[in-house]
Structure 1
Amino acid sequence: MTTLAAAMGRFAEQAGLQQLEGVVETRLPGVRFFRASRSTPRQPLTYQSGILIMGQGNKIIHLGEQQVAYGPGSYLVVGVPLPLECEAQCSAEVPILGLSVAVDLQRLHEQVARLYPPQAPMAPCRAIECGLSSARLPTDLDSACQRLLTALASPVEAAILGPGLLEEILFRVLTGEQGHVLLELARHDGHYARIARVLGRIHREYAEPLTVESLAGEAHMSVSTFHRAFRQVTRVSPLQYMKQIRLNRARELIQREGRGIAEAAALVGYNSPSQFSREYKRHFACNPRGDQAA
């Protein structure tokens, strides 16, 4: 019987990704493949929302006081983009191999409407933070992921079979152990879904001078209620969240795109390069010049 790790290894070989260090888009929009062969210490980064499926290797996520480990044959559902800290454990012989599947909100609402028609109310609302935990891949979800990997290797199969396989994966997750996170996203007027929409705006407009008052208004909450709900979902305040998103994006601009420090600072919304350098060093425990040279 083929394992998920073997299926991911075969996909990497077929797609010429045996030397990949990082994340790459696949033939299907919203589906990304990630690979890493070098362990990394605990460091800040941003996890985008979606379904994360691990085939090989191990990661440990730190979100506030919470610590979540996930490894081969496990998955987790990240309902909203989260700035957190992560450490990776792998090697050249046993690299990390995984898939990231974005959640299409239109598909999600359609499936929830079928599962919970008006005469069949949705499951009771969970705590709005929904938590962040890993779960073992059930057999049906593992099978769907392996079939998706096979389809991704062929342009024709990806185009014809891919959308149906994504529908199946969404359904398996929605009706599984982590399904409550997706259900809360589908509750239009729930606090979790409102905060999720605000976070979407922050990620689109992180370089703009956003105010807590305007974000609270968009969520249709008072400022105090918004603060409380925001912290329950993200574990940090709105201002801390925006700062972390800007700094994490700046590091990507410096390390991956080779942007200069002043340019990166301006692109993420900093008017003062000196303030940017101070906050960058406090967040990453190194100054931006060191990352620029790395």
Structure 2
Amino acid sequence: MSLATLMKQYVDQKGLDQLEGMAKTEIDGLYFYRSSTGNARKPFVYQSGLIVLGQGRKNIYLGNQPVQYGPEEYLVVGVPMPLECEAIAVDGEPLLGLTIDIDPQVLHRLVNKLDSLNCYKPCRDCNTRSGLKSVSMDRDMLDVCERLMKALCHPVEHAVIGESLMEELAYRALMSKEGNVLFDLARHEGHYARVAKALDYLHKNYTRNVTVQDLAEHANMSVSAFHQAFRNVTLASPIQYIKKVRLDKARELIQLEGVRVGDAARLVGYNSASQFSREFKRHFNETPKAKLTS
């Protein structure tokens, strides 16, 4: 069975034919995605991990560098990335996919083992590498994704071998052509890993008055060196990135949790509700109130 067929089987078995968005699966760190019609290009934040498509297509706009992926392709997302995403349902069929969180402890254990076997994959061009890459599945990666979907459809299998399949998937990603992204994160070496450390701090403290100086200090870099490294990884300036993260968090609060606009603005670090509304409309092309009622 193809990966798309296995995903359709999971939808039928779990009654997910009305799902629009993400749903947790029975395996920790694994999420199933379905969208019946897709969506037009809109701002979004991709969290770090792997994103697999079994059906449909997506266009990711990161600065001026578009990233496209479709069936049996996946993204390696090293750091949380504010971007714009266009999801396309092909031939009237829903988009189907998986989002995989990679357990940091598993990643470190694998990298340490691979390092001991001299399997480290150095970065081909560290000066231009960004935090988002599309990869075509080789047979081994496709095989583990198919076995993961089969396990999800079987209550004993996902309980017994789900964890080991997730570890194998992380290993396959490490050994892929973009595995250096994950290697560097685990080894805490180089500018990429330093920027990732600063981003982790930002995502935990976005409600505070976080400055570029604060982020540079967490990366143990000078402000000028950090600014350049940050732009290389995220294709955005630190100030732009901070604003996008706050606005995306606010949208989640308003749309998913029903928080009032003024309260959402305050919770994400805005002192001025009017400034928040202006920047929200500029970023999402609609007002916060429109999002609340949509």
The alignment's TM-score, normalised by the length of structure 1, stands at 0.94
Report how far residue 152 of structure 1 moved.
2.0
In 2 relative to 1, CA 292–157 (structure 1 residues): closer, same or farther, beyond 3 Å? Answer: same
- Rounded Cα–Cα distance in structure 2 between residues aligned with 1:92 and 1:263: 42
Report how far residue 106 of structure 1 moved.
1.7
Aligned to 1:58: 57
Asked whether the equivalents of residues 74 and 136 of structure 1 are also in contact (C-alpha less than 8 Å), the reply is yes
- Rounded Cα–Cα distance in structure 1 between residues aligned with 2:123 and 2:187: 9
The alignment's TM-score, normalised by the length of structure 2, stands at 0.94
The runs of 5 or more residues in structure 1 that have no matched partner are none
Asked whether the equivalents of residues 39 and 91 of structure 1 are also in contact (C-alpha less than 8 Å), the reply is no
Cα root mean square deviation, aligned: 1.7
Aligned to 1:241: 241
Q: SS at 1:86's partner residue?
A: strand
Aligned to 1:230: 230
- Could you give the per-residue CA deviations for residues 70-92 of structure 1, whole angstroms, max 9, x where no partner exists? 11111110111000001111169
Report how far residue 229 of structure 1 moved.
0.8
Aligned to 1:127: 125
What fraction of aligned residue pairs are identical, expressed as a percent? 49
- Rounded Cα–Cα distance in structure 1 between residues aligned with 2:145 and 2:239: 37
Query: AA paired with 2:81?
Result: L
Aligned to 1:40: 39
Report how far residue 160 of structure 1 moved.
1.4
- Could you give the per-residue CA deviations for residues 98-118 of structure 1, whole angstroms, max 9, x where no partner exists? 00111222211211222221x
Report how far residue 148 of structure 1 moved.
0.9
Report how far residue 68 of structure 1 moved.
0.9
- Rounded Cα–Cα distance in structure 1 between residues aligned with 2:63 and 2:224: 21
Report how far residue 268 of structure 1 moved.
1.1
Aligned to 2:267: 267
* Residue 27 (structure 2) pairs with residue 17 (structure 1): no
- Rounded Cα–Cα distance in structure 2 between residues aligned with 1:243 and 1:105: 27
Aligned to 2:142: 142
Give matches, 1:101-250, under 5 Å. Answer: 101-117=100-116, 120=118, 122-128=120-126, 130-131=129-130, 132-250=132-250
- Rounded Cα–Cα distance in structure 1 between residues aligned with 2:268 and 2:53: 31
Q: SS at 2:121's partner residue?
A: coil
Asked whether the equivalents of residues 75 and 134 of structure 1 are also in contact (C-alpha less than 8 Å), the reply is yes
- Rounded Cα–Cα distance in structure 1 between residues aligned with 2:91 and 2:36: 5
Report how far residue 196 of structure 1 moved.
0.8
- Rounded Cα–Cα distance in structure 1 between residues aligned with 2:78 and 2:276: 29
- Rounded Cα–Cα distance in structure 2 between residues aligned with 1:263 and 1:276: 11
After superposing on structure 2, the runs of 4+ consecutive aligned residues of structure 1 that deviate more than 4 Å are none
Asked whether the equivalents of residues 102 and 170 of structure 2 are also in contact (C-alpha less than 8 Å), the reply is yes
- Rounded Cα–Cα distance in structure 2 between residues aligned with 1:178 and 1:15: 33
Q: SS at 2:27's partner residue?
A: coil
Query: AA paired with 1:14?
Result: Q
In 2 relative to 1, CA 98–272 (structure 1 residues): closer, same or farther, beyond 3 Å? Answer: same
Query: AA paired with 1:23?
Result: M
- Rounded Cα–Cα distance in structure 2 between residues aligned with 1:201 and 1:156: 39
Report how far residue 269 of structure 1 moved.
1.2
- Rounded Cα–Cα distance in structure 2 between residues aligned with 1:47 and 1:269: 21
In 2 relative to 1, CA 167–88 (structure 1 residues): closer, same or farther, beyond 3 Å? Answer: same
Report how far residue 205 of structure 1 moved.
1.6
- Rounded Cα–Cα distance in structure 1 between residues aligned with 2:242 and 2:36: 31
- Could you give the per-residue CA deviations for residues 154-183 of structure 1, whole angstroms, max 9, x where no partner exists? 443222101110111111111122212212
